[in-house]
Structure 1
Amino acid sequence: MTSDVYPPALSAAQIERFIEDGFVRIDDAFSRALAKEARGIMWRDIPFDADDPRTWTQPVVRLAGYGGGPFEKAVNTPVLHSAFDQLVGKGRWEPRSGLGSFPVRFPHPDDLGDAGWHVDLSFPGEDSNPDEQRDFSAWRVNITSRGRALLMLFLFSDVGQEDAPTRIRVGSHKDIARLLEPAGEGGMARLWLEHVGEERPLMHRGKEPRFMAQPGLAPSEPLRLEREDGAYSPVEIAIRLALQGS
Structure 2
Amino acid sequence: MGVDVDAFVSDGFVVLRGAFDAATAAACREVIWAELSGQGIRRDDRRTWTRPVVWADCRDAAPMVAAAASPALLEACDLLIGPSRWTAPVPAVGGPVRFPAEVYPGEVGYHIEGNRWIGEEYWTDVRSRGRGLTAFFLYSDVGPDDAPTRLIAGSHLFIPPILAAAGETGMAGSGAADRLRPSVLCRTTVHCTGRAGDIYLCHPFMVHTATWPHRGRGPRMISQPGIAVPDGFAIDGSDPSPVAAAIVRGLNGMN
- What is aligned with 1:238? 246
Give 1:26-37 correspondences, 5 Å limit.
26-37=16-27
1:207 aligns with 2:204: no
1:186 aligns with 2:169: yes
Deviations 1:202-222 (A, max 9, x none): 321211111111110011543
- What is aligned with 2:83? 90
1:100 aligns with 2:100: no
Deviations 1:25-65 (A, max 9, x none): 11011111111101101101112221232321110111224
* SS at 2:92 equivalent: strand
Gaps of at least 5 residues in structure 2 are 187-208
Deviates more, 1:159-168 or 1:138-147: 138-147
Greater share of strand: 2
CA contact (8 A) 1:93 1:221 kept: no
Give 1:55-70 correspondences, 5 Å limit.
55-70=48-63
Pick the aligned partner of 2:32 from 34, 38, 42: 42
Query: What letter is aligned with 1:163?
Result: D
Higher relative contact order (CA 8 A, sep 6+): 2
Determine which structure has more spread, i.e. the larger CA radius of gyration. Answer: 1
Deviations 1:5-32 (A, max 9, x none): xxxx434xx1100000111111011111
* SS at 2:76 equivalent: helix
TM-score for both structures, normalised by structure 2: 0.81
- Tell me how far apart the structure 1 counterparts of residues 230 and 58 of structure 2 sit (CA, whole Å): 22
Q: Kindly tell me: are residues 180 and 65 of structure 1, through their superposed partners in 2, closer, same or farther at Cα, counting changes over 3 Å?
A: farther
Gaps of at least 5 residues in structure 1 are 1-8, 126-131
The root-mean-square deviation of aligned C-alpha atoms, in Å, is 2.0
Deviations 1:74-130 (A, max 9, x none): 1112111111110000111111264234111101121122122222222123xxxxx
- What is aligned with 1:122? 115
Q: Percent identical across equivalent pairs?
A: 36
TM-score for both structures, normalised by structure 1: 0.84
CA contact (8 A) 1:72 1:99 kept: yes
Greater share of helix: 1
Query: What letter is aligned with 2:136?
Result: L
